[in-house]
Amino acid sequence: MLFFRHMKINSKIVCLFFVLISFISGFYYHEYLLQEYYERTYSDENIDFSILKKTLDQIYLNYIDPNQIDLEKMTYGAAAGMVNALGDPYTEFFDPEGAKSMEEIVTGKFEGIGLQIGIKDKQLTAISPIKGTPADKAGIRPGDKILLIDEKPTSNLSASEAADIIRGPKGTKVVLTILREGENFDVEIIRDVINVPTVEWKMLENEIALLGVYHFSESTSQDFKKAVFEIINNNVKGIILDLRNNPGGLVNQAIDVAGWLLNRNDLVMIEKGRDGVKKEFRTNGSGDLISYPTVILINEGTASASEILAGALKDNRNLTLIGEKSYGKGTVQKLINLSDNLMLKVTIAEWLTPNGNVINDNGITPDIEVELTLEDYEQQKDPQLEKAIEEISKKINI
C-alpha cells in the first residue's frame, strides 16, 4: 500500500516537473523567436550602418567650423533621431541631462514650472499643470497648444526636448506662446522648486471628503494610505475622488491606490504586449474605502495611470465619472538605462480597462459631462466640483 502511495506522489512530482519544463521551454522558445526575428530583420544585410559613418566623414571633411563638431553630442542626436523616426511621442532617448531630469520627475522634486506636456496631433500640448505650481497659478490649462518657448518654435521638438527648455533654475523666467480656442497669447512664468503634491484631502460640508490625487510618484501609495486612515477616523460619509489634471506617473502606484477602493484581487488593468499576450494586474489591498459612496472627477488633464485608476473604478464598481473626457494616453513605457548616464523610454505595451476598453487616443468619457470654462477659471468657480457634491449628496441621502 505504501509503495502505491509513494508511486502516486512520484507521479505528481513527475507531472509537475514536465509542466515546469514545458513552461520554461515555451518561454525560451518565445525568446528565441524574437531574437531570430531581430537578427533576420536587422542584420547588416538589411540595414546600412555605414550611412552614419559616411555622414560623419563628410561633416569632418566639409563643415565650415570643425571646432563646433562635437562627436558625443552628434552621437546622442543620431540615437534620438532613430527613436523619433518611430513616430511614437512616448518613446524617447534621453541624453545625460534628459536622463537626470527624468529621474527627478519620478522622485517628484525638480525645478521648473510644474507642467506635464506631450505631443498630441503633432503639436506640443499641455497635458496638465500640477496643482499649486507656477504653471497652475499662471492659468495654463489642459489642451493648451504650446507654439513657442521663449520665441523658439516647438514644431520640431520632442516632449522631452521641450521639457528640458522649459525647466530651469528657481527664479528664472520662461515665456510660453499658447494657442487656445483660436487665439494666441504669451504667458510669462517664473520657475520655482516643484515639490509635487501627490495626495491631499479636505472635509467639505455634510461630511463629504474631497480626495485629490495629483500625480503617481514613488510616495503616492504611502501618502494615500495616510489620507485613508484620516478619512476613516473623521466620520466621512462620502468621497469625491479628484483625478483632474493628474498626468499619471508610476502605474504600480495607481494599482496600489486602487487596492484601497476595490476588493482584493479585482482586475485593475490589462496589459497587451507586442506579441498579443495579455497580462492582468489585480489589486492586493485591503479595500478599506469600498464601502464609502464615491464619485470621480476627470478632465482632459487626466492621463495615463490616472486613466487606469478611473477605468478600473468605473468597470468594477460602476462609479459615476463627472467632468470632461480624459486625455487618452493608454500605452505602457519602460525605462531602460543604456549606460550610467543615458536612458531610453520605450513603449512596450498598451493597456486596457478591466472591460477591455482601449483608452489610447480614445480617453474615458464621463457619465456626466460638465465643462470648466475660461470664465469659470477667471471667476474661481468650479461647476464640476459643484456637480460632484450634488451627485454624492444623492448617494448619501442628504
Mean per-residue pLDDT of the chain: 87
Helix ranges, the chain (H): 2-41, 50-62, 71-84, 96-107, 134-137, 159-166, 220-232, 251-261, 305-317, 374-378, 383-395
Place 372 in a pLDDT band, splitting at 50, 70 and 90: confident
Element (H, E) at 332: strand 331-337
Task: Report d(CA 344, CA 83) in Å as an integer.
Answer: 9
pLDDT digits (tens, 9 = 90+) for 54-65: 999 999 999 999
The secondary structure of residue 315, as a DSSP letter, is H
Place 42 in a pLDDT band, splitting at 50, 70 and 90: low
> Are 187 and 175 within 8 A, CB to CB?
yes
Active-site option among 272, 329, 345, 387: 329
Place 107 in a pLDDT band, splitting at 50, 70 and 90: low
3-state percent breakdown (helix, strand, coil) of the chain, nearest 5: 40, 25, 35
Q: What are phi and psi of 231, to 5 degrees?
A: -65, -45
Average of per-residue pLDDT across 46-58: 87
Q: Is the pLDDT of residue 5 over 60?
A: no
pLDDT digits (tens, 9 = 90+) for 112-128: 999 989 888 889 999 88
Active-site option among 164, 242, 266, 315: 315
Active-site option among 160, 304, 306, 326: 304
The secondary structure of residue 229, as a DSSP letter, is H
What percent of the chain has pLDDT above 90? Answer: 67
Task: Report d(CA 310, CA 351) in Å as an integer.
Answer: 13
Q: Catalytic site residue 339? A: no
3-state DSSP call for residue 89?
A: coil
Provide the whole-model pTM: 0.76
What percent of the chain has pLDDT above 70? Answer: 86
Q: Catalytic site residue 128? A: no
Any idea of the CA torsion for 63, 65, 70, 71, to the nearest 10 degrees? 30
Q: Catalytic site residue 304? A: yes
